[in-house]
Amino acid sequence: MKKRRLLSIAMSGLLTILAVTGCGSTNSSTASALGGGSVIKIGSVHPLTGSYAYEAQAIVNAQQLAIDEINAAGGIASMGGAKLELEVGDSQAGADTGASETERLISEGCSIITGTFQSGVTLTCMQKAEQNQVPFLVTVSNNVAMFENGFEYCFRIQPNADVFAHDFIEYITEIKTDDIKTAVLIHEDSLTGTDSGDIIAENMGSTGIELLDRITYSASTATLSTEVTKIADLKPDLLITIGYFADTSLLVKELNERGVELKMVCGVANGGISDTKFIEDFGDTVENYLDLNYRFNPNSEKTEELLTSYKEKYGDDMSVHAVWGYESIYVIADALERAGSSDSEALKKALHETNIEDHVLAQAGPITFDEKGENVNAAGVLVQIQNGKHVVVYPREFAEAELIVGE
């Protein structure tokens, strides 16, 4: 695989000193002169045990892949070739545990924290990072409110729930056929599902599709029998689903066992439908399923190289979540390169000035953050399962295949 090139900054005079303990906290004054053996620690807090472990491990794997690439290419040039090191914490899918793991990684010298997959957990981790004045970069979490708190040290590359939901409303209005007249919305009841669910429920009328019901459930549920009974009784043309891998798998298993017939199934930031393992598990029964989600750019040579490299290293197809873990490391490396330092204030400033055009994301424009720390060009695309593979079908600038409807 061709190694990704990092932005080089010319060095002059003495090398910038790198804080290697205290993780950039305002109370930290400890620093060491940079040399070839210098290490910059990046913290990664994700739910590595429990029902989200499959997705979480893929994110961490992708982060490690990016770090290996950067280190092999010479590390952070402006810091004398300093190497990156991933320090991993397990949130165990709990907010309190996530917060304590964040504190632990900060105390162990991490210059920035990434995470954490669940919005509720991510928010508590962001709060801990903000209190310690240590930058935090969200890998996967789409809750809108967490970036309405005036945090100065927090950033997010992916689209938030508002973007997902509004993109869904726009896209479904444009692609629906005349026989799609009714819909049921089913989603898990955490911040992730509720945010997008609220917007979709409020705006479905504008699509010309009647929303028959909105059904919620806990993502940790062991069965969705009652919920699927409701869906079967309502007989919607379109089923809209927001969930993670495990609960979406339960939903589809129940739908298949009941023989529920639907003209269209469309996820919104669905952690199951957009995952290759989902196709492996359900085969032809999920053919033509759609998902409005973030995605890598399928028409990029860089993407092809990345997917091949991940498969070679981990023996598995790279999940869509993992792509954001991978890109998070390159955003951090870019900021470190420009800052020439892992000092919290310098790194925060560099992150706010991010302008990365050379990325693998399906978004129109560079990765760049607004004053809240949100990626201003973040967007969703429609992905469809066709012939046992995920393909982007909309918008057309990223499409790799024609949308299939009515089959």
Q: pLDDT tens across 36-60, in order?
A: 469 999 999 999 999 889 889 999 9
Q: How many domains does the chain have?
A: 2
Identify the CATH number of the domain in which residue 89 sits. Answer: 3.40.50.2300
In whole angstroms, what is the distance from residue 325 CA to residue 169 CA? 27
Strand arrangement, sheet containing 154-156: 83-90, 39-46, 110-115, 136-138, 154-156
Q: Are residues 85 and 107 in the same domain?
A: yes
Which DSSP helix (H) or strand (E) runs through 174? Answer: helix 161-175
pLDDT of residue 407: 54
Q: pLDDT tens across 216-230, in order?
A: 999 889 999 999 999
In whole angstroms, what is the distance from residue 406 CA to residue 264 CA? 8
| Six-digit token string for 368 | 């760049």
Query: Does residue 86 belong to any structural domain of this protein?
Result: yes
Q: Are residues 70 and 104 in the same domain?
A: yes
Angle formed by the axes of helices 53-72 and 320-339, nearest 10°:
40
Q: Are residues 96 and 64 in the same domain?
A: yes
pLDDT of residue 37: 63
Query: Does residue 5 belong to any structural domain of this protein?
Result: no
Q: Confirm if 59 and 324 have CB atoms less than 8 A apart.
A: yes
Q: Is 348 helix (H, G, I), strand (E, B) or coil?
A: helix
Query: Does residue 60 belong to any structural domain of this protein?
Result: yes
Q: Are residues 278 and 202 in the same domain?
A: yes
| Six-digit token string for 71 | 């280190």
Q: Confirm if 204 and 211 have CB atoms less than 8 A apart.
A: yes
Q: pLDDT tens across 45-100, in order?
A: 999 999 889 889 999 999 999 999 999 999 999 999 999 999 999 999 999 999 99
Query: Does residue 17 belong to any structural domain of this protein?
Result: no
In whole angstroms, what is the distance from residue 103 CA to residue 340 CA? 25
Give the ranges where 46-91 is alpha helix by DSSP (H).
53-72
- Residue 209's Cβ-count burial label (10 Å; 0-12, 13-18, 19+) is buried
Segment 314-339 shows an average pLDDT of 95
Q: Are residues 145 and 63 in the same domain?
A: yes
Q: Are residues 40 and 77 in the same domain?
A: yes
**Letter for the amino acid at 379?**
A
Q: Are residues 102 and 146 in the same domain?
A: yes
Q: Are residues 286 and 166 in the same domain?
A: yes
Contacts of 91 (CB under 8 A, 6+ apart): 45, 46, 47, 48, 97, 98, 101, 115, 116, 117, 118, 121, 125
Query: Does residue 12 belong to any structural domain of this protein?
Result: no
Query: Does residue 402 belong to any structural domain of this protein?
Result: no
pLDDT of residue 266: 97
175 pLDDT above the threshold of 90: yes
Query: Does residue 345 belong to any structural domain of this protein?
Result: yes
Q: Are residues 228 and 336 in the same domain?
A: no
In whole angstroms, what is the distance from residue 221 CA to residue 301 CA? 40
Q: Are residues 50 and 131 in the same domain?
A: yes
pTM of structure = 0.81
| Six-digit token string for 120 | 């509720």
- Greater confidence (120 vs 135) lies with 135
Q: Are residues 264 and 180 in the same domain?
A: yes
pLDDT of residue 52: 87
| Six-digit token string for 319 | 């999940």
Segment 255-262 shows an average pLDDT of 97
Query: Does residue 401 belong to any structural domain of this protein?
Result: no
Please give the DSSP secondary-structure letter assigned to residue 316: S
The domain of 72 spans 22-158+298-352
Mean pLDDT of the chain: 90
Q: How long is the chain?
A: 407
Q: Are residues 174 and 200 in the same domain?
A: yes
pLDDT of residue 9: 32
| Percent of the chain at pLDDT exceeding 70 | 90
pLDDT of residue 406: 67
Q: Confirm if 258 and 228 have CB atoms less than 8 A apart.
A: yes
In whole angstroms, what is the distance from residue 34 CA to residue 400 CA? 46
Distance of CA 165 to the CA centre of its chain: 15
